[in-house]
Structure 1
Amino acid sequence: MTTLFTKIIRGEIPAEKIFEDDQYLAFLDIRPIRPGHTLVIPKIEHDYIFTLDDATLAGLLPFAKRIVPALEQATGCLRVGVMVAGLEVPHTHVHLIPMTAISDLNFALARESSAEERTAMGAKIRAAL
């Protein structure tokens, strides 16, 4: 089964890409908890973070770390929270969520964002990279 995220990697589904290299991709969530909510994924299709091979797992957070200062600058948040839930899409992913309080890390706050909102936020984040 090909996941939604693999289709994004292949360019079959549009996404507001923030940053990528040959192994990982960061893009904006279409249902952000907070503006700037970014998903970071390995480009290999793998369901569960804790069964990733060691090398891929070891590179995931350093890749995500490169994006955090740009998220902070673009959103004005106090910190960027990190969550790994892993049930929404069967492809390993890390949520980077701009936050000002612990209560911001709540999936009940998620709302659909428009393509225009994602385009504008993506441009702000990329400009800060």
Structure 2
Amino acid sequence: MASIFSRIVAGEIPSYKVAEDDRHYAFLDISPVAAGHTLVIPKREVDYIFDLSDEEYADLQLFAKKVAGAIKKAVPCKRVGVAVMGLEVPHAHIHLVPINREADMNFFGEHLSMQPEEMASMAASIAAAME
């Protein structure tokens, strides 16, 4: 059965897309820890990031680096934090989170509740910064 992320890539479930190429997809987390919190995934469904081939892993990291650069341009922050975690979805993914202090990456604290218009605007801003 396809993961929710594979279904997003296939267009079966809507997302706030930030960037895409032939092998990767980046979209806003629907339960963000900070405005601009983005998930970067390989389109090929692989449960565990370290099960990717060396080439796939390197390509995913390079794609995430481009997305992080766009987030930094679009969202006021000191840095873009990166985390690989996520046991909830069996599809490898990287979290990119705009941060001003380390505590901003608290995945166990309160998450933001953003309106669809805010999410769409944020996704558009980051996507525009990709160019």
What CA distance in whole angstroms lies between the structure 1 residues aligned with 2:90 and 2:113? Answer: 20
Give the paired residue count. 129
Question: How far off its partner does 1:56 sit?
Answer: 0.9
The runs of at least 4 aligned residues of structure 1 exceeding 3 Å deviation read none
What CA distance in whole angstroms lies between the structure 1 residues aligned with 2:66 and 2:73? Answer: 13
Task: Show CA shifts across 1:20-39 (max 9, x none).
Answer: 11100000000000000000
What CA distance in whole angstroms lies between the structure 1 residues aligned with 2:65 and 2:77? Answer: 15
Question: How far off its partner does 1:66 sit?
Answer: 0.7
What CA distance in whole angstroms lies between the structure 1 residues aligned with 2:48 and 2:42? Answer: 11
Letter in 2 for 1:113: M
Please, what TM-score do these two structures have when normalized by structure 1?
A: 0.95
What CA distance in whole angstroms lies between the structure 2 residues aligned with 1:37 and 1:22? Answer: 22
Q: Which runs of 5+ in 1 are unaligned?
A: none
Q: Could you tell me which residue of structure 2 aligns to residue 40 of structure 1?
A: 40
1:74 equivalent in alignment to 2:65? no
Contact 2:35 2:112 in 1 (8 A): no
Question: How far off its partner does 1:112 sit?
Answer: 3.5
Question: How far off its partner does 1:68 sit?
Answer: 1.6
Q: Which runs of 5+ in 2 are unaligned?
A: none
Contact 1:48 1:86 in 2 (8 A): no
Provide the identity percentage: 50
What CA distance in whole angstroms lies between the structure 1 residues aligned with 2:87 and 2:70? Answer: 27
Q: Could you tell me which residue of structure 1 aligns to residue 11 of structure 2?
A: 11
Question: How far off its partner does 1:86 sit?
Answer: 2.5
Question: How far off its partner does 1:126 sit?
Answer: 1.4
Please, what TM-score do these two structures have when normalized by structure 2?
A: 0.94
Give secondary structure in 2 for the equivalent of 1:27.
strand
Question: How far off its partner does 1:52 sit?
Answer: 1.3
